[in-house]
Amino acid sequence: MTSQPLPLPITKEEARIVYYTGTETPTKPGDVTPDTPLHELYLNWTEKELPERERTKHVHRLHPYLGKYIPQLVEIFLRKFFAPGQTILDPFAGSGTTLVQANELGIHSIGFDVSAFNVVLMKAKTGRYDLDKAEKEIKHILSRMEPLRPDNSCQMPLFNSFTPSLHLETDNDYLNAWFAPRSLKELLAFQSLIPEYEYQDLLSVIISRSARSARLTTHFDLDFPKYPQTEPYYCYKHSRICQPTQTAIQFIQRYSLDTLARIKEYAKLQSDAAIEIHHQDSVTAHIPPIDGIITSPPYVGLIDYHEQHRYAYELFNLEDHRSEEIGAAEKGLSKKAKRDYQSGIINVFHNASQSLRSGGYFIVVAGDKFELYGEIAAALDVKVEAIIKRHVNRRTGRRSTEFYESIFVWRKK
């Protein structure tokens, strides 16, 4: 059963903590209104209650991204605390989940991220497309790739007569190590064609997603491969001996058509609400006036956000700002790393709060197993209205560990 709220007003030291036992009726995001009590929300969805196809609906599966929060969670708090026409900020915009969901509800949004790839991904997901033109571009570039299909010819010389002006070789050590020769040529061929089209961010995401699947790694470990897999191996995903992937064209075709279907689905839900996307560190950025903040900061010592998309950085020669990441896995979990994490998060929220109206809400979804956010809240000029403990009990892939994450509801004084 849910805990009872403490008497109002609630100070930072008396923050209401809400737990769930899993016996409540699952909350449907569309049923939430500003009058819905926080302690009546049920956010511990099981796989049956909230299957993966719903968590990755339309553009939310345009490209895999580790560490993103689910759109249903964002939608619930947008409906609870914000209204159409208002403007919200995500200072750790990541894959753009906040921006996508805010736009569905007619809420203006601003997103900042230090990752160049994340910015490309967000622009592709939130773009307003002429769907007929997008379809023509995707199908046209696919038709130009058709001669490279293995069932048309398995002879490498075919590349020489494909389009002589294309760059089908690279001296990039990472790309040459992590892709089979034919896969790399196919990826480079597609990449070389992108500048000829209008929707370049969309095509870049397609080829990045294809590159992720075409790497020389085991089929069961696309998230954290440590070294190129060049020999046959026992595959836990398929329960048999598998060969490392040698071609990329099958992924290019599959993801091209999947991308087209997803942007068409999302187009039915898009509003005219404005979306701003900035490739900038939100610690120092100038942030326009905002009505609220909803975000999921990096979890301390868990993910290296640049490294998870290394293939895209190498393929497109993107700017690498990994030194600006807060809480990167490579920084570890030492006392110093945790202090640096707290300092980084405080600096981001302090800067954002300068643009937040009085009484505006911070909704912060974070893994706080080390209990760092109490001190973060104390360092800010906020009133802690609630801390909701959400049990995350279903994951995808081989990452099946259960854990709790906290949803902090703060309000600017």
Whether residue 138 sits in one domain with residue 45: no
Whether residue 175 sits in one domain with residue 59: no
Whether residue 71 sits in one domain with residue 135: no
Check if the beta carbon of residue 60 is closer than 8 Å to that of residue 396.
no
Answer whether residue 7 is part of any domain: no
Tokens of 93: 């915009």
Whether residue 286 sits in one domain with residue 254: no
Q: Mean pLDDT throughout 393-412?
A: 74
Confidence of residue 98 (pLDDT cuts 50, 70, 90): very high
- In sequence order, what DSSP letters do the residues of 107-175 get, joined into one string? -EEEEEES-HHHHHHHHHHH----HHHHHHHHHHHHHHHGGG-TTT---GGGGGGT-TTS------HHH
The enclosing domain of 76 has a CATH number of: 3.40.50.150
* Cross-strand pairs, 88: 109, 292
Q: How far apart are CA 15 and CA 274, in angstroms?
A: 34
Whether residue 123 sits in one domain with residue 86: yes
Checking if the pLDDT of 258 tops 80, the result is yes
pLDDT digits 0-9 by tens, 235-250: 888 888 999 999 999 9
Check if the beta carbon of residue 255 is closer than 8 Å to that of residue 210.
yes
Answer whether residue 83 is part of any domain: yes
- pLDDT averaged over the chain? 89
Q: Mean pLDDT throughout 26-45?
A: 91
Checking if the pLDDT of 197 tops 70, the result is yes
Q: Mean pLDDT throughout 77-82?
A: 98
Checking if the pLDDT of 80 tops 90, the result is yes
Confidence of residue 69 (pLDDT cuts 50, 70, 90): very high
Measuring CA to CA, which residue among 128, 119, 121 is closest to residue 270? 128
Check if the beta carbon of residue 409 is closer than 8 Å to that of residue 361.
yes
Answer whether residue 5 is part of any domain: no
Confidence of residue 7 (pLDDT cuts 50, 70, 90): very low
Q: Mean pLDDT throughout 353-376?
A: 96
Checking if the pLDDT of 164 tops 70, the result is no
pLDDT at 245: 93
Report the range out of 24-28, 149-153, 166-170 with the highest average pLDDT.
24-28
Quote the domain boundaries for residue 219. 131-266
Q: Mean pLDDT throughout 345-362?
A: 97
pLDDT at 142: 94
Of 285-294, 338-347, 396-405, the one with minimum mean pLDDT is: 396-405
Checking if the pLDDT of 12 tops 70, the result is no
Number of domains in the chain: 2
At 119, phi and psi to the nearest 5? -65, -45
Say if residue 4 is exposed, middle or buried (CB neighbours under 10 Å; 0-12, 13-18, 19+).
Answer: exposed
Whether residue 358 sits in one domain with residue 233: no
Helix (H/G/I), strand (E/B), else coil: 405: strand
Helix (H/G/I), strand (E/B), else coil: 177: helix
Please give the share of the chain, as a percent, with pLDDT higher than 90: 72
Whether residue 385 sits in one domain with residue 285: yes
Check if the beta carbon of residue 401 is closer than 8 Å to that of residue 393.
no
Whether residue 143 sits in one domain with residue 69: no
pLDDT digits 0-9 by tens, 210-224: 999 999 998 888 888
Q: How far apart are CA 186 and CA 6, in angstroms?
A: 61
pTM, two decimal places: 0.90
Confidence of residue 67 (pLDDT cuts 50, 70, 90): confident
Say if residue 347 is exposed, middle or buried (CB neighbours under 10 Å; 0-12, 13-18, 19+).
Answer: middle
- Between 158 and 234, the more confident residue is 234
Checking if the pLDDT of 20 tops 60, the result is no
Whether residue 339 sits in one domain with residue 255: no
Answer whether residue 271 is part of any domain: no
Rg (CA), the chain: 22
Q: How far apart are CA 109 and CA 273, in angstroms?
A: 8
pLDDT at 277: 98
Checking if the pLDDT of 8 tops 60, the result is no
Whether residue 153 sits in one domain with residue 95: no
Whether residue 291 sits in one domain with residue 395: yes
Whether residue 118 sits in one domain with residue 153: no
Strands 240-242 and 233-235: antiparallel
**244 alpha-carbon distance from chain centroid:** 27
Confidence of residue 167 (pLDDT cuts 50, 70, 90): low
Check if the beta carbon of residue 316 is closer than 8 Å to that of residue 89.
no
pLDDT at 5: 38
Checking if the pLDDT of 157 tops 90, the result is no
**What is the phi-psi region of residue 188: left when phi exceeds 0, alpha when psi lies from -120 to 50, beta otherwise?**
alpha
pLDDT at 46: 83
Measuring CA to CA, which residue among 95, 132, 285 is closest to residue 209? 95
